[in-house]
Structure 1
């Protein structure tokens, strides 16, 4: 049964007169689309035309076009927002950068979006090109961009749009640690989300706006904290944590909407698998009287818009030769799901870390560490294409080799598990070593029993010894909080082969590949 949130009239001090001036708003929303313009499988990776025709695929821009059109037709005052991370994830982004995202967001008629961390993956210049192309405001309140020439005059902290004769105040949020997660450069200063939002709320209220909506690419947990600290917010449209909020799914992290005080928080998983639909009723003072809805599954029952299908097929032409190349075979599905690879050992983490270590084992390297957030999809059983490998590893990272003291390896692992409760992407997938962690302990003291493999035997890590390490160039430069790699690495070389090539070669050498876990990472 759909959950309805009703605020008691007494709690809102709603007068009888106000009840006659109710304003209804339908908020349609997406988040963390990650260039999934084509339909995807249940594993969030590519889906064949045959499976799509059989109704076994999800999402894709052509389904969203249909679903948004139908939702607008039944709504009184519809708006369409995005919670960030349109960039990165498939060959469409690798080849076209932000051009295709801009084209389809314009076609869908978005009213606003916030900046996600992945919008900075190729620096401010690519983001600027995207902003110049889209026909709606791109928002980010918690960053000072005045020192970045590419963005200083194009990103707004907040804006006001009108719908049905009412003013809606929109505020954008991006992760405060975007400088660790992407490549924004040194000219942008990221700040506390609650403080930034509070400042924009005050500004909007001073302009007579009493309906405040935050578009937040900050994660479900941060959104709840911001709602507590800034109770004037009416709705938070979330992203970043790929959270499914629902009143019907047993996989949901919370109800849709999740209420914090009188603030309604929504998020619709990721990859275009759902279109969020929140129906909100306000009184004439801008107080929420009712908030109800549910993410709509973009499954085979949603008819694809034919013109959009044709356009995507045209855009896919240059990509097909690359991604359709069969590189290997897998005996079973390789689990690369976000919820497993950011919380513990996962089969995809073992594959990627094993492949990294095997590639450089003859260079005196003992240990491989790969961030779980760098693994973006699973691979199903059967033939494995280069396109599937690129969907798992879309970031064009290269192998980076260096040396670290044992104490610094332990520090790196501590960083890796320091935000496990938030599902952060820094969780370490490893090869050549094993470790245990206690998520209940204080960050910085969660790691124990670190063992390093040498000549087939495991021995406790020596804090004073020097070990050869392989990672990716993003982590080596301090990404995902791995500052110890940037500051303590010795004899570093960051320009090895592409990680996707390393993994594809390893799969081919071990075909048919059998995915596995072996207990190398264990929770205490």
Structure 2
């Protein structure tokens, strides 16, 4: 009765030996390829917010600072940059344009304030926004001559402008951790019509210019390329999808907020776009005014392909201390403009909104005040209506006294009140153009939205 069991045991033993000999021995796991880690800190559309500011974008007062209601400012940004720089050996600090224009600091110093603090904070590169050309080539040339880093614009031709010739780079190369990093710059083609670059400055098509710059960098053996773009979030995604070779695109212009955690974000950080070669392009931007410091950490393989990434904009609120050295310099510059902040020129019984999500899409109390004031003055010349574009409203005013500083922060462009005659057809076309992008959720082109007084 036990014989079958013995035979079964022999068969089992044979099968066991077969299994053991047929299975290959465990192999050691292949070590992953060494990855190069790059940290990119970025800003955009800071618009001369040198001091900290409240939710309306106006400079904080002592009461607001005591109640922890203040954000941003170069001193707070400096603290966070220094902390991260000490922790991350391969770090780049870049800006996507529009350092100029927006507060009394620019009105008084015309870019000298941006030059001072960008040098102090150790920026590695920036591109131009449209507002860098608000006061023509002369002011911009002085700014570029004074900065310690390249001013990069790949889609501009300044050969006919002697003030800028040789100052603007089509691309730049920097070294981090033994790896070459290429940087290109792309500014909006509309700069010639929305700013004052002068007759000798030309803006080329963005995508073609970007591809030429990327190809030039590739010839130098660069396979990690960052594009600094002042074109707006939607255009940035189009550029990323059209140009081969861009790895990271740092954007600006539309003041877009990206985040993986905030409910009000307009997209993820980073937003991933597939390039023509099938590689991932990481698109990031950091809202505006320097309220946030963009933080992106990327791991690249030897071929310059992004393998891993993480990041999130860092809110620069009162939990972050202000750097003492930078704050001292900011306060020194503030001394010359402080008298203007105290000169009372009016009073409001309600908050006047500076929210661009309102002023660039809908009628607002700030737009009504501005156009009513324009019409009040222009009626002396027989005018019947007044209009002002929502993109020109740059700040809000809180309930209470209105100072000259408030007025200049709301309307910082030194515009002149102009009068003209229009036909009914002209006005109809004007209104149609005004609302043509009013429903764009990303504020692309919506600075054209007009506020009116006297129109019925």
Flag whether TM exceeds 0.5 (same fold).
yes
User: C-alpha distance in 2, partners of 1:72/1:414?
Assistant: 49
Shift in CA distance, 161/329, structure 1 to aligned 2, threshold 3 Å: same
Which among 288, 301, 324 is matched to residue 283 of structure 1?
301
Which among 142, 145, 149 is matched to residue 129 of structure 1?
142
Which among 156, 161, 174 is matched to residue 161 of structure 1?
174
1:378 alignment partner in structure 2? 396
2:351 alignment partner in structure 1? 333
Residue 428 in structure 1 maps to residue 450 in structure 2? yes
Residue 234 in structure 1 maps to residue 252 in structure 2? no
1:357 alignment partner in structure 2? 375
Checking the alignment, whether the CA contact within 8 Å between 2:45 and 2:97 is kept in structure 1 is: yes
Residue 292 in structure 1 maps to residue 293 in structure 2? no
Q: Any residues of structure 2 matched to 1:436-455 within 5 Å, and which?
A: 452=456
Residue 33 in structure 1 maps to residue 55 in structure 2? no
User: C-alpha distance in 1, partners of 2:431/2:219?
Assistant: 47
User: C-alpha distance in 2, partners of 1:222/1:52?
Assistant: 37
1:486 alignment partner in structure 2? none
TM-score by length of 2: 0.90
Question: How much does 1:378 deviate?
Answer: 1.2
Larger radius of gyration: 2
Question: How much does 1:98 deviate?
Answer: 0.9
Q: Any residues of structure 2 matched to 1:121-200 within 5 Å, and which?
A: 121-200=134-213
Q: Secondary structure at the match of 1:20?
A: coil
Q: Any residues of structure 2 matched to 1:392-471 within 5 Å, and which?
A: 392-420=410-438, 421=440, 422-433=444-455, 452=456
Question: How much does 1:323 deviate?
Answer: 2.1
Checking the alignment, whether the CA contact within 8 Å between 1:19 and 1:283 is kept in structure 2 is: no
Q: Any residues of structure 2 matched to 1:192-271 within 5 Å, and which?
A: 192-261=205-274, 262-271=280-289
Q: Secondary structure at the match of 2:184?
A: strand
More displaced stretch, 120-129 vs 303-312: 303-312
Question: How much does 1:423 deviate?
Answer: 4.5
Question: How much does 1:152 deviate?
Answer: 1.5
Checking the alignment, whether the CA contact within 8 Å between 1:145 and 1:188 is kept in structure 2 is: yes
User: C-alpha distance in 2, partners of 1:235/1:346?
Assistant: 37
User: C-alpha distance in 1, partners of 2:194/2:320?
Assistant: 34
Question: How much does 1:424 deviate?
Answer: 2.8
Checking the alignment, whether the CA contact within 8 Å between 1:158 and 1:169 is kept in structure 2 is: yes
Q: Deviations over 1:380-418 (max 9, x none)?
A: 112222111111111111111111111112222223233
User: C-alpha distance in 1, partners of 2:144/2:30?
Assistant: 43
2:74 alignment partner in structure 1? 61
More displaced stretch, 353-362 vs 273-282: 353-362
Question: How much does 1:219 deviate?
Answer: 0.6
User: C-alpha distance in 2, partners of 1:52/1:385?
Assistant: 19
User: C-alpha distance in 2, partners of 1:34/1:101?
Assistant: 9
User: C-alpha distance in 2, partners of 1:311/1:143?
Assistant: 33
TM-score by length of 1: 0.78
Q: Deviations over 1:327-379 (max 9, x none)?
A: 22221211121111111212211111111111122322111110111100111
User: C-alpha distance in 2, partners of 1:189/1:27?
Assistant: 30
Q: Any residues of structure 2 matched to 1:17-96 within 5 Å, and which?
A: 19-96=32-109
Q: Deviations over 1:6-59 (max 9, x none)?
A: xxxxxxxxxx98942200000000000111000111111221123123321000
Shift in CA distance, 245/56, structure 1 to aligned 2, threshold 3 Å: same
Q: Secondary structure at the match of 1:127?
A: helix
Q: Secondary structure at the match of 2:159?
A: coil
Checking the alignment, whether the CA contact within 8 Å between 1:343 and 1:423 is kept in structure 2 is: no
2:328 alignment partner in structure 1? 310
Question: How much does 1:231 deviate?
Answer: 3.7
2:26 alignment partner in structure 1? none
User: C-alpha distance in 2, partners of 1:139/1:17?
Assistant: 41
1:4 alignment partner in structure 2? none
Question: How much does 1:427 deviate?
Answer: 1.2
More displaced stretch, 411-420 vs 154-163: 411-420
User: C-alpha distance in 2, partners of 1:175/1:183?
Assistant: 13
User: C-alpha distance in 1, partners of 2:88/2:251?
Assistant: 21
User: C-alpha distance in 2, partners of 1:324/1:248?
Assistant: 39
1:116 alignment partner in structure 2? 129
Checking the alignment, whether the CA contact within 8 Å between 2:120 and 2:326 is kept in structure 1 is: no
Checking the alignment, whether the CA contact within 8 Å between 1:368 and 1:430 is kept in structure 2 is: yes
Gapped regions of structure 2 (runs ≥ 5):
1-28, 275-279
